[in-house]
């Protein structure tokens, strides 16, 4: 294990709180803290994983800074696998900053963001994908996001990647054996068999990459656009789902001129709900921009709530809208069903490619059914992934795509009879891409980029 400098940082958010934690890791951590700690016994004699009551005192100024509890944890059974000390002081920025300054004066270095977790990675306690999950746990905004990040921290994704990597390695090994001993009488790798094995690995890679959609939805939410021609009740639906009067509703068509975004929770996963301006030919520049924004929201949406006014006959605007939404990600909704209670809607349902949900944004009728349909359509698919590893980071998705592209080239090479050198080069590139996910292949600048995203003291 390499010997990295001893570092210190404030690990709790700066502000008034009951307790603040100043944290240290490194070979000198216990000695440095021991130099400013006054308690019943010295920290250097303390056993591992013990807690010590005392005071932090500046020996130079003879000044007592705070009353504290210090935990001493000795390598290797720690977060970083190095000696660690955590000073639990009173919350409040002044005490924490003074303690940190004192530790820096006594030989510690200030920790850059993510440095504690980086040490855990550098010292081999966790791999890179696990280290990245720590940042995701800290920033998780939904229970689903937390659950995914925890499962990644426990190594579910890493295990999958490692097993795929072993698969590629074994094909590469067989190929290179053929290469090294090509003069001797060693049986050459059966190309067909190698190709089959690569195609199986590639399929697994692709499935993993596909889980990124579920990963994004579970951790960031479903981008959902409410679209429809003017006056069909889009803003009323937004308000009904939010259960408050967020958007202005009037009987005047063209009331909503700009997109309005709000977040609601459906079955534990957030919907990023966007109310849009009604899609119709625009009279003025403001309306034009509004309609442009509606189109953008429609294009970027994971889920489209396509709304029609059931109390009126369909017209060309409704028909035009139907051609611009993708049925796979659309729920068709007929609104204002309070106006035709018991009778068939005036709007011709036969135009719709799927069974619509009938609602009244005014009386909230049908709203639960709509929410259930949303859960089934989007979340059903997302949740079916929660038992297997899910990709949640764009970096991982990119590397998976690059690895499967290289495998494809290797497969094609095998098929058309290219030389082993060219094929092994592709396989090596695939291995590098996969290795970058778990950090088996690592570059300093990559690490800098990843850990920069962390907060200080983590």
Ligand X SMILES: Nc1nc2c(ncn2[C@@H]2O[C@H](COP(=O)(O)OP(=O)(O)OP(=O)(O)O)[C@@H](O)[C@H]2O)c(=O)[nH]1
**Please, are residues 90 and 430 in contact by the beta-carbon 8 Å criterion?**
no
In the list 151, 219, 224, 256, the residue contacting Mg ion (rule: CB under 5 A) is 256
In the list 23, 165, 336, 458, the residue contacting ligand X (rule: CB under 6 A) is 336
In the list 26, 167, 215, 230, the residue contacting ligand X (rule: CB under 6 A) is 230
Cis status, amide bond into 414, omega within 30 of 0:
no
Q: Which uninterrupted H or E stretch holds 17?
A: none
338 binds ligand X (CB under 6 A): yes
How near is the Cβ of 312 to ligand X at its closest, in Å?
11
The interface region with ligand X, picked from 103-111, 150-158, 227-235, 412-420 by CB under 6 A, is: 227-235
How many angstroms separate the Cα of 381 from the Cα of each of 240, 326, 455?
Answer: 26, 17, 33
167 binds ligand X (CB under 6 A): no
| Binding to Mg ion, residues 368-427 (CB under 5 A) | none
The interface region with Mg ion, picked from 231-239, 289-297, 329-337, 395-403 by CB under 5 A, is: 231-239
Rounded Cα–Cα distance for residues 238 and 246 (Å): 8
How near is the Cβ of 342 to ligand X at its closest, in Å?
15
Write down the H helix ranges in 13-92.
29-34
361 binds ligand X (CB under 6 A): yes
| List of long-range contacts for 133-140, beta carbons under 8 Å, 24+ apart | 134/454, 134/458, 135/453, 135/454, 135/458, 136/219, 136/392, 136/393, 138/454, 138/455, 138/458, 140/219
How near is the Cβ of 302 to ligand X at its closest, in Å?
21
235 binds Mg ion (CB under 5 A): yes
In the list 140, 177, 339, 377, the residue contacting ligand X (rule: CB under 6 A) is 339
255 binds ligand X (CB under 6 A): yes
How near is the Cβ of 363 to ligand X at its closest, in Å?
7
User: What is the DSSP code (8-state) at residue 119?
Assistant: H
**Please, are residues 303 and 316 in contact by the beta-carbon 8 Å criterion?**
no
Residues touching ligand X: how many (CB under 6 A)?
24
How near is the Cβ of 330 to Mg ion at its closest, in Å?
19
Dihedrals φ, ψ of 86, to 5°?
-125, 125
259 binds ligand X (CB under 6 A): no
Query: Cβ–Cβ contacts within 10 Å for residue 96, how many?
Result: 25
Dihedrals φ, ψ of 252, to 5°?
-85, 120
**Please, are residues 26 and 83 in contact by the beta-carbon 8 Å criterion?**
yes
Q: Which of 240, 178, 164 is nearest to 434 (CA)?
A: 164
How near is the Cβ of 374 to ligand X at its closest, in Å?
18
Which residues make Cβ contacts (< 8 Å) with residue 312, sequence separation at least 6? 346, 347
The interface region with ligand X, picked from 164-172, 283-291, 342-350, 356-364 by CB under 6 A, is: 356-364
How near is the Cβ of 387 to Mg ion at its closest, in Å?
40
254 binds, among Mg ion, ligand X, none (CB under 5 to 8 A by kind): ligand X
| Binding to ligand X, residues 272-301 (CB under 6 A) | 277-278
Which residues make Cβ contacts (< 8 Å) with residue 1, sequence separation at least 6? 81, 123, 124
Q: Which of 20, 148, 122, 117 is nearest to 452 (CA)?
A: 117
The interface region with ligand X, picked from 92-100, 157-165, 207-215, 359-367 by CB under 6 A, is: 359-367
Q: What share of the chain is helix, strand, coil (3-state, %, to 5)?
A: 50, 15, 35
232 binds ligand X (CB under 6 A): yes
234 binds ligand X (CB under 6 A): yes
The interface region with ligand X, picked from 68-76, 175-183, 205-213, 360-368 by CB under 6 A, is: 360-368
In the list 34, 167, 178, 254, the residue contacting ligand X (rule: CB under 6 A) is 254
Chain residues in the site for ligand X (CB under 6 A): 228, 230-236, 249-251, 253-256, 277-278, 335-336, 338-339, 360-362
Chain residues in the site for Mg ion (CB under 5 A): 234-235, 255-256
């Amino acid at each position: 294990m390499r010997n990295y400098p001893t570092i210190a940082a404030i690990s709790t958010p700066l502000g008034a709180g009951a307790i603040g934690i100043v944290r240290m890791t490194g070979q000198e951590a216990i000695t440095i803290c021991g130099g400013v700690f006054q308690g019943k016994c010295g920290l250097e004699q303390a056993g591992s994983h013990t807690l010590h009551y005392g005071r932090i005192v500046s020996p130079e100024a003879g000044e007592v800074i705070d009353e504290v509890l210090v935990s001493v944890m000795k390598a290797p059974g720690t977060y970083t696998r190095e000696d660690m000390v955590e000073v639990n002081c009173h919350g409040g920025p002044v005490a924490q900053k003074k303690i940190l300054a004192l530790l820096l004066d006594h030989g510690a270095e200030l920790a850059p963001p993510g440095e504690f977790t980086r040490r855990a990675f550098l010292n081999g306690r966790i791999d890179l994908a696990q280290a990245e999950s720590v940042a995701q746990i800290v920033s998780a905004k939904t229970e689903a996001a937390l659950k995914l990040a925890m499962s990644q921290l426990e190594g579910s994704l890493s295990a999958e990647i490692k097993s795929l990597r072993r698969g590629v390695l074994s094909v590469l090994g067989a190929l290179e054996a053929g290469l090294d001993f090509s003069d001797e009488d060693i049986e050459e790798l059966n190309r067909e068999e190698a190709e089959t094995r690569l195609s199986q690995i590639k399929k697994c890679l692709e499935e993993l990459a596909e889980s990124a959609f579920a990963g994004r939805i579970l951790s960031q939410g479903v981008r959902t656009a409410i679209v429809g021609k003017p006056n069909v009740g889009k803003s009323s639906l937004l308000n009904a789902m939010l259960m408050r009067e967020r958007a202005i509703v009037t009987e005047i068509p063209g009331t909503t001129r700009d997109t309005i975004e709000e977040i609601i929770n459906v079955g534990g996963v957030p919907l990023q709900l966007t109310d849009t301006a009604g899609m119709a030919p625009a009279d003025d520049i403001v309306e034009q921009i509004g309609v442009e924004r509606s189109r953008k929201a429609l294009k970027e949406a994971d889920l489209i709530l396509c709304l029609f006014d059931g109390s009126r006959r369909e017209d060309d605007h409704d028909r035009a809208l139907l051609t611009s939404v993708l049925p796979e990600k659309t729920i068709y909704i007929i609104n204002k069903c309070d106006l035709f209670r018991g009778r068939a809607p005036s709007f011709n349902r036969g135009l719709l490619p799927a069974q619509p949900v009938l609602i009244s944004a005014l009386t909230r009728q049908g709203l639960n059914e709509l929410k259930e349909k949303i859960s089934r359509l989007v979340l059903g698919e997302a949740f079916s992934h929660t038992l297997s590893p899910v990709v949640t980071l764009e970096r991982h998705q990119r590397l998976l795509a690059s690895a499967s592209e290289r495998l494809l080239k290797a497969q094609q090479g095998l098929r058309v009879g290219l030389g082993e050198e060219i094929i092994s080069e592709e396989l090596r590139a695939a291995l590098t891409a996969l290795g970058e996910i778990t950090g088996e292949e690592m570059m300093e600048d990559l690490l800098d980029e990843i850990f920069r995203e962390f907060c200080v003291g983590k």
